[in-house]
Structure 1
Amino acid sequence: MKNLLTDIAGVSVGHADDAAIGSGVTAILFDRPAVASIDVRGGGPGIREDSLLAPHNVVDAVDAIALSGGSALGLDAAGGVQAWLAERGRGFRIRDAVIPIVPGAICFDLLNGGNKAWGRFPPYRDLGYAAADAAGGDFRLGSVGAGMGATTANLKGGLGSASARTDDGVTVAALAVVNAVGSVTVGTGPWFWAAPFEVDSEFGGRGLPPSFTSDMLRMRLKGGAEATAAENTTLVVVVTDAQLTKAQAKRLAMIAQTGMARAIYPVHAPLDGDVVFAAATGAKPIDPLFGLTTLGGIAANTVARAIARGVYAATALPFPGALPSWQDRFG
C-alpha cells in the first residue's frame, strides 16, 4: 500500500497547477465507471453535477471527479477532464452519443497573492485536461493540483491522501484538499487534531499536547471577523473497492464526513463549503449493515489522516504575506 487514493485498483490521480497564479486542478479517474454519491455539510459549497449523484436519480456511476481551485470559475475544470475522456470514447452512452460523467467541486483561492489576471477565460478547463492527461498511480501531496493555493486559519493548506484496509480485506482511501476556515493544528503548536488516527508517523508523529489550555481550544478562523462564506472549503474524495449501491455510497460519504470533524476545528460552518464524494469500484462484496458501518468508520479515520497529511506536506506560496507551512514552523 502506498497510503494514497490509488491503492484502490482502477483509480488514477493527476495534478496540473500554475505557480504564478497560485492555483490548480486535481483529476481522479476511474478505469471503469464507479458507483458514486455525495454528502455536503458546508454552508458555501461550489459543486458541479451534485444533483446527478443523489441516490434517487438515474445515472449510477461516474467516469471521473474533478477538484479545483478558482472558486466558481474553477468549475470549468471538469469540462477539461470531460474533454480528455470524450477523446477516448469514455462516458455514459445514449445510442451513438457518449457523455463523460464528471462531477466536480471547487475551493476558493483567489486572494492568496497569485496573479489572477488571466484574461477573458480562466485557465481551469485547460488545467483540468492537463490533470487528466497526467493521471497515474503515484502523485504528490501538499501544495500541488487543487491544493496549490489552499490555506487554513493559521497555516498553508494543501492536498493529502491516505488509505486503509478492513479486517475483511476491503480497501478504502481518501484524498483531501484542505482549504478550511478553521485550523488543522491545536493552538499555536505542532500537534494535529487528527493525531489519534495517525499511522507510522505519516504527519510527523507529534501526538497530542500533554494537556489542553483554554487558548488551545480557542477557535481560530481564517480572515477573522472579515471571513466570508466564499473563501473556504475542504474537498474530499473517498474511494473503496467494495460493492456498493448508490444509496450505500451516499451513506459512506455521510459517515466519512466524521473525519473532517476529527481533523479540523471548527468545521461544517457557514464559512465552509465542505463536501465528500464517495465512490465504489465494486470488486468486493460487503455486508450491507455491519460491513458498511465498519467501512464508514475506517473511511472517517482515513479522511482525518488525509487532511493532516495535506497540511503536513504543504509548502508556502512564494508571495508577500503568504501563510507559513507546517514545515516552516515545526519541521
Structure 2
Amino acid sequence: MNTKLIESALPGFLLWYKDNARKNENYYHNTITLSNLKSLTGNDFIEFFTKFRKDGGHVQCGGCRGINDFENMIQNDYKRFRKHVLAPFQKNFDISTWLKETKAFKQWGIGISTIYLNRVDKIKYPIFNGKTLGALQKLNINHIKLHSISGYYKLKEVQKEIIDTYQDIKNFFIADSLFHYIFAIHNDEDIENQLDDIIQEDEKIDDQEILRQIGRLAKETNERVQLKKRETFKRSSYILALIKKLRKYKCQFCGTQIIKKNNNYYIEACHIIPKAKGGTESLQNILILCPNCHKKFDLGKSKILQHTNNKIKLCVNEIEYCIKFENLETK
C-alpha cells in the first residue's frame, strides 16, 4: 500500500472533512436503527428506502435514474426486501450471504447496499463503490473486482489497517471519505497536469490574450470549456492553467520554478479564500506556489494583513509577503 500517498493527503483531507463530509457522518443515526425500521410499514417503509436510494445514503451521488425501478421492486418484493434490510441487525448475520442476496433486488447494487451496511454500523462495515476501487488503484492495490465478495473483504482489510494506523480515521465512514478524497484529488491533479502542459506548449497565448480569456471566462456560466478540437475541461481548471502561465510558473513566495521530465514546469494554484468558503478562481483569489510554500500557506501560521483587488499582504510563519495582482481592466 502506498502509505506516502495517504500521509501526504491526510492534512488536506482532515481540513476538507471537517468543512464538508463530517456533517453527514451521523446523518442516519436516529433513523437506521432496528426499532425505527421495524416501526415503518407499507408506504412509510417504501418511501424511506426510496429516498435513501435517491440521496445515495448521503455518501455518493444519488439522483432519479433507476429510482422508479427501485421503488417498484420494493413494492413487488416487499416482504423479502424488508427481511433483507433488517438482517444486518441480527446476531447471526452472515455478510457474505447478504451481499449475494443484493443481486436479487433491482437497483440495490454493491455501492448503495454497502452504504446501507455502513449506516447500520460504521465500525463494522466499509463502503465499496467505484470511487473506492479507484482509490485502491491509486494506492497501488490492484486486481480487486468491484462486485466480488473477496474484493469487499480485501477492502475491509486495507481500511482496517488505515484505521489502526491513523488515529484521526476512527471508522469506516471516515476511511471511505478519505478514499473518495484521494480518488478525486489525484484524478483532478492528472487532468490539471495535462491541461498545464497544453497551455504551456501553446506559444500563441501571450499575457494580453490570457487576460482577455480570463475576463471572458469569468462571465460564462458553462462549467466546461473545449480547447479547439481537444477534449473538454472544467472551466475553473482552465482558468487556473492560464493564471499559472501568466505568472510564469514561478512560486510567488520563494521564486522557485520546478521543471518536469518533459521540460514543462510544475506549480500549484492556491486559493486565498478556500472554495468551501466561497472562494473563486479569480486573479485576486489565486496564488501560484511551489508545493512546499503551498503547504506552508494551508497548514502554517497564516494571517492576511491586507487583501484588495490590486494586492495582498500576508504573513506566513512570521515571514511577510506583498504580492500584486494583474488588473483585467488596464491590460
TM beyond 0.5: no
TM-score range, shorter-chain basis? under 0.3
More helix by share: 2
More strand by share: 1
When normalised by structure 1's length, the TM-score is 0.24
When normalised by structure 2's length, the TM-score is 0.24
